[in-house]
Chains A and B, each alone.
Chain A
Amino acid sequence: MRSSRWRLPLRSAVLVYLGLLVILPVGTVFYRAFQHGLGAAWDALTTPDALHAIWLTFIVAIIAVPLNTIFGVGVSLILARHRFPGAWLLDALVDVPLAISPVIIGLGLILVYGHTGWFGNWLAAHGITVIFSVPGIVMASAAVSLPYVVRSVLPVLLEIGTEQEQAARTLGARPFTVFRRITLPSIRRGLAYGVTLTTARVLGEFGAVAIVSGAVAGRTETLTLFISDSFNSLQPESGYVGAVALCLAALIVLTLLTVTDRNRDAWHGKAVA
């Protein structure tokens, strides 16, 4: 039997590939983080710089993810429900952050919002610092994670079509009611997926943030920058623990979304009982 002869080597190959690229490296980071026991790991995680990096990453995510969620749903609705000249351009522009290196995005942000940039003088005159500061980090994170919600929601919107929305209109629903009661529930799985990807990307972004933040420890360092910095400055233990914290954050996001999604299903079941 040909298939059974190949089954074992194929499985082994997949496992080895995954093992070499993901399981072994990530596992080693976890191992190193707890190498000297939980106490040591806790100490490394609660240094002021580490805590600030966690806090900053949290702040950035809590701003950038909702922004991109709203923007992403809006753009998806525009692209799916309206025909207008230049729609193809908007569609293509959304993908730009996927196509180009995050470093270029960071660089572009400095050129526009930096001291010598287009808006530099105006921003300085109004006492607003974007680059080497939190706003810049948020902008960079939002820019690189911009396509994910659109790319997860747009196909769903196109697939469900407009008939349900039209039916809701004939039944007396205003545009916002149609959106809240029909469109949003219909796209919620795609949206949850998009939000998860966006969050993961924001938490893990390094290149663009490294350029715009200036990576000042305790001030403009996100977790990824903190990990890299710790590693380079010969304090690798902090880096390992930071990495574990980042992994846990991503895990929490995933779990939350899964749980809320399941709750919504249950809610549908209960509401009619």
Chain B
Amino acid sequence: MSIEVESITKRFGDAVALDDVSLEVPTGSLTALLGPSGGGKSTLLRIIAGLDTPDSGIVLIEGEDLTHTPARSRGVGFCFQHYAPFRHLTVRRNVAFGLEIRHRPKAEIKARVDELLELVGLAHLGERYPSQLSGGQRQRMALARALAIEPKVLLLDEPFGALDAQVRTQLRLWLRDLHATLPVTTVLVTHDQEEAMEVADRLAIINHGHLEQVGAPADMYDHPANEFVLTFLGSATRLGGEWVRPHDLVVHPVSEGKPSATAVEGTVARVTHLGFEVKVEVDLVGEESCWVQLSRGSAAELGLQAGQRVWVARSDASDAPNHRHPILSA
């Protein structure tokens, strides 16, 4: 295990930021701490880095207990949400900082900085000051600066949070590629489930200071440990008193007769076209309304309109026994 936290508890006054959280991050993985804002993810990241101290619990990096080791001696690369660039230093000297204070030979520093700037695509901007960079460039500079000290682990706090949507998507892919070429154990904090699933190979979901579930994104999507994970990771709706993914539901015209034992009758309340996907809201008979996610083609085939009477049923695949599990069919 590259990073292990055991029974970490942290309070800020009366507020409990983390309540007995234990987590293992395997060597070389890219793990996302995912959860709603204010849930304690950033606090956990800062505790791993040594920027905050836990009230109880321990932090191990490569098996070594670093709970009481100052941040400067932990060998951790940390990227802040707003990048924390050293505003009075150029890009080059920002990246060189960790090496300069270690008094490495000048030639070595230059070579290493050149290599890192090349890696993050800022080789041509070395003489600029951070104020002359775009958000995405600052982010990459901060990454290069953190990587310069050859950290044992890389910690990224909401790395794409302050960027606009297009740059964010590009940087996600770029980060995944970077991690593939330079497999440093990485933990990133995000509140965006799509981002977490796209970038990370492991997710740890944290809510209200509790670790809800840890695992591979696809596993967790299919086998959420509880209702919170189910509703937070992708969309969910209820049919016949059970949680179900909206894309696992199908709609049949009422004239075709009840398609399956678990089907429920209802009235189409609204049809919303979202590009390829069509969202159909249905007021069910005898229970709360649900919504169904259809492809554009199947929606057109059915010719759905508000006011129409329909059956809502689980699709055959989702009704198969191996697809039913405690939470999704509770």
Contacts and interface: CB of A to CB of B under 8 A. Distances in A.
To the question of whether A and B form a pair in one complex, the answer is: yes
Interface of A: 160, 163-164, 166-174, 177, 181-182, 185-186, 268, 271-273
Contacts of A170: 49-51, 71-72, 74, 76-78, 146
Interface string B63-106: 00000001111101110101011111110110001100110000
Contacts of A168: 86, 97
Contact of A169 (B72, B89, B92, B93): B72
A170 B149 CA distance: 10
B71 A272 contact: no
B86 A182 contact: yes
6 contacts: A167-B78, A167-B84, A167-B86, A167-B145, A171-B146, A171-B149
B92 A272 contact: yes
Contacts of B93: 271-272
A135 B97 CA distance: 43
B207 to A, nearest CB: 26
A166 B86 contact: no
A166 B101 contact: no
Given A171-B145, A173-B97, A174-B72, 17 more contacts: A166-B51, A166-B80, A166-B84, A167-B80, A167-B86, A169-B70, A170-B72, A171-B98, A171-B148, A172-B73, A177-B101, A185-B88, A268-B89, A271-B93, A272-B90, A272-B127, A273-B127
B126 interface: yes
Interface centre among A166, A167, A181, A186 (most CB of B within 10 A): A167
B188 to A, nearest CB: 15
B76 A181 contact: no
Given A163-B82, A177-B101, A169 B90 contact: no
Contact of A164 (B50, B51, B86, B90): B86
Contacts of A171: 72, 97-98, 101, 145-146, 148-149
A177 to B, nearest CB: 5
Contact of B71 (A169, A181, A185, A186): A169
Contacts of A169: 50-51, 70-72
A115 to B, nearest CB: 51
Contacts of B86: 164, 167-168, 182
A170 to B, nearest CB: 4
B48 to A, nearest CB: 11
Interface string B176-197: 0000000000000000000000
Nearest to B127: A272
Interface centre among A169, A172, A174, A181 (most CB of B within 10 A): A172
B98 A164 contact: no
Contacts of B87: 160, 164, 186
Given A268-B88, A268-B89, A163 B101 contact: no
B80 A172 contact: no
Contacts of A181: 97, 101
B319 to A, nearest CB: 51
A161 to B, nearest CB: 8
B88 A173 contact: no
